[in-house]
Amino acid sequence: MLMPIYGHIKVNRRRTFFLFFFFALLFLAAGYALGWYMGDPFFGIIAAAVIAVFILLISYYAGQGVVTSMAGAHPVKKEDEPYLYHTVEGLSIAAGIPTPPVYVIETDIPNAFAAGRKPDKAVVAVTRGLLNKLNRLELEGVIAHELSHIRNYDILIATMAIVLAGTIVFLSEIARRSLWYGGRTHRGKRDSGSQGLVMVVVIVLAILAPLFARILQFAISREREYLADAGAAELTGYPEGLASALEKISGQQVKDGPLDKQALQGLYIVNPALGRGTASHLFATHPPVEKRIQRLREM
Catalytic residue among 146, 173, 223, 290: 146
C-alpha distances (whole Å) from 61 to each of 9, 119, 150, 168, 267 are 19, 13, 16, 18, 18
Q: How far is CA 204 from CA 34, 36, 197, 198, 260, in A?
A: 14, 17, 11, 10, 27
**Cβ neighbours around 30 below 10 Å, total:** 22
DSSP letters, the chain, are -PPPHHHHHHHHHHHHHHHHHHHHHHHHHHHHHHHHHHT-HHHHHHHHHHHHHHHHHHHHHHHHHHHHHHHTEEEE-TTTSHHHHHHHHHHHHHHTSPPPPEEEE--SS--EEEEEEETTEEEEEEEHHHHHHS-HHHHHHHHHHHHHHHHTTHHHHHHHHHHHHHHHHHHHHHHHHHHHHHHHHTBTTB-HHHHHHHHHHHHHHHHHHHHHHHHHHHTS-THHHHHHHHHHHHHHS-HHHHHHHHHHHHTT--TT-TT--GGGTTTSSS-GGGGG-----TT-SS--HHHHHHHHHT-
φ, ψ at 126 (rounded to 5°): -130, 155
Active site residue 173: no
Residues catalogued as catalytic: 146
